[in-house]
Structure formats: structure tokens, C-alpha cells
Structure 1
Amino acid sequence: MTSPDTGGDREKVVTKLTSTLRQDLKVRAALHGLDMQNAVEAGITAWRGLGSNPAPVDTAGAETYATFLPAELWDGFRDDCKDRGVSLTQGIAQAVTLWLDSNPVPEVKRPATVRRIVVCNQKGGVGKTAITAGLGEALAENPAALVPVRVSKHFAALLDDHNRPEDPLALEDLPGLGQRVLLVDFDPQSHLTKQLGHEPLPMNGDSLTNHMAGEAKGELADLIVAVDEDRFGNRLHLLPACTDAFLLDVRLASVRAREAALERALRAVEADYDVILIDCPPSLGLSMDAASYYGRRRDNEETGNSGVLIVVQAEDSSADAYGLLTSQIEDMRADLALDIDYLGLVVNHYDARRGYIATSSLQSWMDIKDPRVVGVIGDLKEQKEAVRAKRPLLAYAPRCEQSVALRALAREISK
């Protein structure tokens, strides 16, 4: 069955396809940057060029499927199916399978230098931990599956809650980024560790603090645990915190080249990851110096590959804390002649219903062009529920507004 396609020289074709083949076709076409109809066209063209029929495909449960194809291609395909003694349903299944076999999942692009993202703000309560976890989750999602993403052009609509883009048509289904990610809980309060369902490291054992202080009791890799959720595969790992980090600044005071202590500790595991995210404590002490130094641009590293990501809120006290933090970073840049890139500002816990203070503060953050706002994350219930459940947000509620926004953030800072 066909009907004209008013948008071009194609006609609407109605056939049947199994749900599995349809989903695989949708995902694979997106991975290769193609429309599904173009993938089907390529598959049919390849099938017609075969010298003999390929192996039969199980079409049990095939359901109605519509696409747009050039009329002459579809007419020729139907004739070929008749000549080869196969049904249209079997023929289209073979053609789609042939295209899938010829177009495997592309390899994930790996950074030349491990990305080091320092998530920070010396003000507590702004949600650094939630942003660190959510960003890491978004970076690690399955590259062979599609996930809903809302791109940054929608940020402006958040200034007016009535204009918030709730229309699902505003979302775009994109493949997961498939990065190998290490989340480092650098805060002695251990919020990141506990939120992801793990226990802090014991005080009498080994820890990141010990490695930074030059008193390691074993290999750092032995302290790392996996975040066990199917959608992340084995790509998302956590270095848990230990409450001995409360003493980190004191212990670093006597360490040689203390600003490089975090880098010396993490160098041992960098080769295993594409991205390392540091969840910093609300502090402007030596630990923050070490984190900033770790995020500096290394020799031959591209600008914006690594750096600091500052989490703020749409209220006045965040602006004061932001000023103190950037002053410390600027002092390090000047004193040690470092290139420390600002990856951007994330406005967290945003809710326009809080009125003029929230909306005007958001506008003020957006007016800062360097660093620019790279994400606006709403203050919604799903994040709190995920924390209570001790599960990653993107596994607990993968389609919620916050998950969608975190995926946009991951892509925005990966450009």
C-alpha cells in the first residue's frame, strides 16, 4: 500500500516489521545520523543487488510499519519479492537486517587526554553532588540506545515558567555518550558515595587522602567500585570518600608540591577512563587548590577538554560565593602560570515559581558570558526520590525533566 509524500518524490509505504527490528533500525539510523527511511532505502537497494536470498528472518509478531520510499524503488522491490518467492514482510525484514549488519554500532570517540572536570563552589547546598553524579551518568549512558535530550537553546524559556518546554516534541532522541567515567567523592561528608548506594571507606583502611599525603596502603584502583546499573554497563565507577578527608588540608600542609597531590594520586587510574569528575567539598582550602590544579590544561590538551564547572543557584548568596571561588582560581592561575579553563556555570535547583529573585538571578547568571551558563537544572522531586532510593537519577527516572537537562549539560560541555 502506498500514498503520495507531499514533501518530495517519495510515497508512503505501509508494510510490516517486528518491533525488535523497528527499534534496532531506529537506534542504528540515529547512531549513523540518518533518517529511518533513508536506512530502509539503502537496505532495500542492497537487498535487490544480492545474487540470492539471504537467510530467512523470524517475522513472527510483525506489526504494521509505515515509511516513505521512492515509488520506483518500492515497485521494483515488490516485483523482486514475487520473483524470489518471499513475502513483502519477509523481504523488508531481510533488507533491514542486511542494512543493520552492514552498519554496526559506531565506536565511541575517546578523548586524546582524559577529561578532568572539577565540580565546585565553596558554598554548600547548591547541589554539586547531584550535578557531579548526574553529569557522570549522562556521559556513561549506553551508546547503542537512544535517550531523550533537550538542547541548550531552550534555556531562555526557563526564565518564564509558563514557557517551560514541556512539549515532548521539543525533545530529541540521541544515542548515549558511552564514556568511561570515574566519579571521585572528594568531600569528607560522603554525600556522593551514599547517594549512589555505597558506604564510605573505613577510617583505618586506605583512602584517597592517604594517597595524596604520600601514605598509601595499597593500589588506588582497589578502592574503586562500579555503579551497578544496566544503562551504564561497566562504564560508571566511583572512588568513595572517607571521613579522613576532614584532615586533608592539615596533612597536605607538609606535602611537597601539595597542589599536585590529587594529580599524583589519580594518575595511576587515568588510563582506564575517558572522564574523571571531582565532587569538591564546600571549601576554599588546600584541597580546592589541589582540585583546581588537577583540572588545569595540560601540555597539548585542547582548550575546554578539562577545567572547572561551577554550580550556583538563582539567588543572591550564590553570587557572593562565586566571587570568592573565582578569586581563588584566578590567584592560582597567576601564581603558578596555569591555564585553568572555565567549563561553565550550572544554575541548579531552579524554580521560576519562586518569583522575581529566581528569574532575575537566572538572568544575571546568563548575562555572564565568560564563563557562560551551560545548564539549568530544575528543582523537582525526582532527584530527592533518587537520593532516598540510593540510585542514580538517570536510572531511577531516565525521562524526567532533570535527567533530560543533565544529558543536555553533558553534550554542552563536550562540544
Structure 2
Amino acid sequence: MTSPDTGGDREKVVTKLTSTLRQDLKVRAALHGLDMQNAVEAGIVAWRGLGSNPAAVDTASAETYATFLPTGVWDGFRDDCKDRGVSLTQGIAQAVTLWLDNNPVPEVQRPATVRRFIVCNQKGGVGKTAITAGLGEALAENPAALVPVRVSKYFAALLEEEDRPEDLLALEDLPGLGQRVLLVDFDPQGHLTKQLGHETLPMGGDSLTNHMAGEAKGELTDLIVAVDETRFGDRLHILPACTDAFLLDVRLASVRAREAALERALRPVENDYDVILIDCPPSLGLSMDAASYYGRRRDNEETGNSGVLIIVQAEDSSADAYGLLTSQIEDMRGDLALDIDYLGLVVNHYDARRGYIATSSLQSWMDIKDPRVVGVIGDLKEQKEAVRAKRPLLAYAPRCEQSVALRALAREISK
């Protein structure tokens, strides 16, 4: 059945398609940056060009499906189905299947140099661990599935809760990013490790601290474990913390070229990952120097491929801590002639209902411009529930506002 399309050059077509083919078509078209109707059209054109019918497709559970095709295409397709002795339902199923076969899932783009995100702030309680975990999860989601993402590029709309344009509120289903991600729990408190359902490494065994101090007891890769959730496949791993990291600054004091200690420790595993995220402790000591050095721009590395991501809150004490942290980073830049890029600021735990303090602080962060605000994450219950359940937020509540915002953050700093 067809009816005119108000667009002028297409007509509405009502046919039948199984839910499986419809979902596969939706995902695959998105992966290739196409509208579903264009994919259906391409499939029909390819099917009509075949010399013989392809294998039959199971259409037993086909349901009503509507799309738009250029005027005349459906009439020609219907005539071909009649000539070939197949029903319209079978013909469209074969055409869609043919398009899927001709357009496989694209290869995930891998960075030329492993990306190194240093997630930091010397002030505790700002949510560095939650952002590290959520960002890593967003980067590792299934590239062959669609996930909801907030498509707005502007955060100023958060200041005008009642007057936000509708397009700033819109969600778009986009493919997961499919990156191979290593989360490094660099904080001796081990919150990242525990939040994701793992145990910290035992004292007296091997640890990242031992590898940084030049006293490794084995291979670092043997300490790394997978975050076992279906939506991340085997793409999301964590290097658990050990409480011996409380002594890291003391042990680094006697290490030659101590600022490069973290890099020396992680180099052996870098080829296994696209992105490595370092969840830094709330400290301005030698460990922070090592983390900053690790995030520097390497030879022939593109600007913004790696760098420092600073987590703040919309309140005054975060501004004081931010000043101390950036002073240390600038000293590192100057003393060692390093290029350390700022990936941006993430305003975490934001809640406009807290009134002027929150909204004016957010505006102050946005006024900085360099580094710019790249994400605003709300203070909502799902994150706390995920921590209690010891599960990744994006697996526990994949469609909640925080998950949506974290996916937007992942895309913002992956441009």
C-alpha cells in the first residue's frame, strides 16, 4: 500500500517486516550514517538488479512496517516480486537482508597513539571516580548497538531550566563507541575498584606501586581484570588499586626520573587498549606529577588526543582546589618543557534546584573558556544506586540522565 508523501518526491509505503530485521536495519543504517528509508531503497535497488532470487527469509513473525520511497520505486518492486513469484513481504525481507549483507558493521576507528585521560582534582568528594568509571563505560559500549545520547553541544541551557530550546533537550540513538578501555585505580582508597565489584589487590603481593617503584613481582597484565557486563563485551578492564599506594610518594622519592614512573609501568599494556583512564587520588604529591607526565602530548601525537580532565563542582571550594591543581600542572609544563593538554572541565553533581550558588558557579566555570566545560553531570540517585549494587552505571541504568550525559562527554572529548 502507498500514499503520497508531503515531502513531494517520496511516497509512504506500508509493508511487513520482522522485528529482528527492523532492529538490525535501524542499527546498521545508523552505523553507516543513513536514514532507514535510504537503506531500504538501496536494498530494493540491489535486489532488483539480481539475476535470480536469493535464499528465502523467515517472515513468519513479520509485522506492519512503514517507510518512504521515491515515487515509482515501490510499483517497480511490486511488479518484480510478481514476476519472480515471491510475496511483497518475502521480497522486502530479501531486499533488507541483501542490504545488511552488503553493508557490514564498520570497523571501529582506533587512535594512532593510545589516548591517556588523567581524571583529577586535589579536592576529594567531587566525583572523580564516578566520572572515570562512567566515561570508560561510555567509551566501551557495543559499537553494533544503539545507545541514547544527548546531542546538545551547549551547557548554558542548564542555567535556563524553563526556557531551553527543544533541540537542546533531544536524545539521539547513536552507535556505541566500541573502544578498548583500561581503567587505572590510582587512588589507594580503591573506590573505583570497589564500585565496579572487584577487590583491591592484597598487600604484600604485586601492584602498580611496585611496578612504578621498579620492584615488580610479575607482569602488570596479570593484575588487570575485566568488568564483566555484556554491553561492554571484553572491552572494559580495570587495574585494581592496592593500599600500598599510600606509600607511593615516599617510594617514588628515591626513583630515578620519577615523573616517568607511571609511564614506565603502563607501557607494556598500552598496545592492548585504545584509551587508558587514570583515576587520580586527591593529592598534589609526586603521584600527581607522574600522572600529569603520563598525560603529556607525545611526539607526533595530535593535540587533545590525551591530557588532563578536571572534575569540579558548582560551588566555591572547587574553585580554590582548581587553582592549586592547575598551578602544579603549569609548573610541570614549564619545568620539564612538556605539552600537557587540558581536555576540559566536568561540572559534576550539578543541581540547579540549589539556587544561585549552583547556577552562578556553573556560569563561572563556563566563563573560563580555556579549559572549557565539556560536560555537566547531574546529581541524581542512579549513580548512588549503582555504587550500592557494585555495578557500572551504564549497565545498571543505561537510559538515565547521568548515563546519557556521560555518553555526551565521551563524544565531546573524543572529537
TM-score over 0.5 (shorter chain): yes
Structure 2 CA distance for aligned equivalents of residues 234 and 152 of structure 1: 30
- 1:264 Cα deviation from its structure 2 partner: 0.2
- 1:53 Cα deviation from its structure 2 partner: 0.3
Secondary structure (helix, strand or coil) at the match of 2:241 reads coil
- 1:168 Cα deviation from its structure 2 partner: 10
- 1:204 Cα deviation from its structure 2 partner: 1.1
Contact 2:229/2:395 (8 A) holds in 1: yes
Secondary structure (helix, strand or coil) at the match of 1:152 reads coil
Q: In the TM superposition, what whole-angstrom CA distance separates every residue of 1:38-61 from its partner, at most 9, and x where no partner exists?
A: 000000000000000000000011
Assess, with a 3 A threshold, how the Cα gap between structure 1 residues 345 and 289 changes in structure 2: closer, same or farther. Answer: same
TM-score (norm 1): 0.99
Structure 1 CA distance for aligned equivalents of residues 279 and 385 of structure 2: 20
Contact 1:185/1:241 (8 A) holds in 2: yes
Contact 1:48/1:77 (8 A) holds in 2: yes
Contact 1:210/1:216 (8 A) holds in 2: yes
User: Which residue number corresponds to residue 111 of structure 1?
Assistant: 111
- 1:162 Cα deviation from its structure 2 partner: 3.4
- 1:159 Cα deviation from its structure 2 partner: 1.2
User: Which residue number corresponds to residue 255 of structure 1?
Assistant: 255
- 1:190 Cα deviation from its structure 2 partner: 0.2
Assess, with a 3 A threshold, how the Cα gap between structure 1 residues 169 and 287 changes in structure 2: closer, same or farther. Answer: closer
Structure 1 CA distance for aligned equivalents of residues 90 and 168 of structure 2: 34
- 1:166 Cα deviation from its structure 2 partner: 8.8
Contact 2:157/2:168 (8 A) holds in 1: no
Assess, with a 3 A threshold, how the Cα gap between structure 1 residues 165 and 279 changes in structure 2: closer, same or farther. Answer: farther
Contact 2:59/2:89 (8 A) holds in 1: yes
- 1:165 Cα deviation from its structure 2 partner: 7.8
- 1:71 Cα deviation from its structure 2 partner: 2.1
Secondary structure (helix, strand or coil) at the match of 1:256 reads coil
State, as a whole percentage, how many aligned pairs show the same letter.
93
Secondary structure (helix, strand or coil) at the match of 2:138 reads helix
- 1:161 Cα deviation from its structure 2 partner: 3.3
Secondary structure (helix, strand or coil) at the match of 1:305 reads coil
TM-score (norm 2): 0.99
Secondary structure (helix, strand or coil) at the match of 1:218 reads coil
Q: In the TM superposition, what whole-angstrom CA distance separates every residue of 1:251-283 from its partner, at most 9, and x where no partner exists?
A: 000000000000000001000000000000000
Secondary structure (helix, strand or coil) at the match of 1:154 reads coil
Bigger shift: 224-233 or 158-167?
158-167
Secondary structure (helix, strand or coil) at the match of 1:16 reads strand
Contact 1:128/1:311 (8 A) holds in 2: yes
Bigger shift: 90-99 or 6-15?
6-15
Structure 2 CA distance for aligned equivalents of residues 154 and 56 of structure 1: 49
Bigger shift: 269-278 or 153-162?
153-162
Secondary structure (helix, strand or coil) at the match of 2:173 reads strand
Q: In the TM superposition, what whole-angstrom CA distance separates every residue of 1:13-50 from its partner, at most 9, and x where no partner exists?
A: 00000000000000000000000000000000000000
Q: In the TM superposition, what whole-angstrom CA distance separates every residue of 1:106-128 from its partner, at most 9, and x where no partner exists?
A: 00000000000000000000000
- 1:155 Cα deviation from its structure 2 partner: 1.5
- 1:367 Cα deviation from its structure 2 partner: 0.6
- 1:164 Cα deviation from its structure 2 partner: 6.4
Contact 1:152/1:374 (8 A) holds in 2: no
Q: In the TM superposition, what whole-angstrom CA distance separates every residue of 1:351-383 from its partner, at most 9, and x where no partner exists?
A: 000000000000000011100000000000000
Contact 2:152/2:167 (8 A) holds in 1: no
Assess, with a 3 A threshold, how the Cα gap between structure 1 residues 173 and 289 changes in structure 2: closer, same or farther. Answer: same
Q: In the TM superposition, what whole-angstrom CA distance separates every residue of 1:60-102 from its partner, at most 9, and x where no partner exists?
A: 1100000000121100000000111100000000000000000
Secondary structure (helix, strand or coil) at the match of 2:153 reads helix
Contact 1:295/1:306 (8 A) holds in 2: yes
Question: Where in structure 1 are there 5+ consecutive unaligned residues?
Answer: none
- 1:160 Cα deviation from its structure 2 partner: 2.8
Contact 1:10/1:68 (8 A) holds in 2: yes
Contact 1:142/1:176 (8 A) holds in 2: yes
User: Which residue number corresponds to residue 125 of structure 2?
Assistant: 125
Bigger shift: 155-164 or 216-225?
155-164
Question: Where in structure 2 are there 5+ consecutive unaligned residues?
Answer: none
Contact 2:151/2:168 (8 A) holds in 1: no
- 1:167 Cα deviation from its structure 2 partner: 8.8
Secondary structure (helix, strand or coil) at the match of 1:97 reads helix
Secondary structure (helix, strand or coil) at the match of 2:193 reads helix
Q: How many residues align?
A: 415
Structure 2 CA distance for aligned equivalents of residues 307 and 148 of structure 1: 26
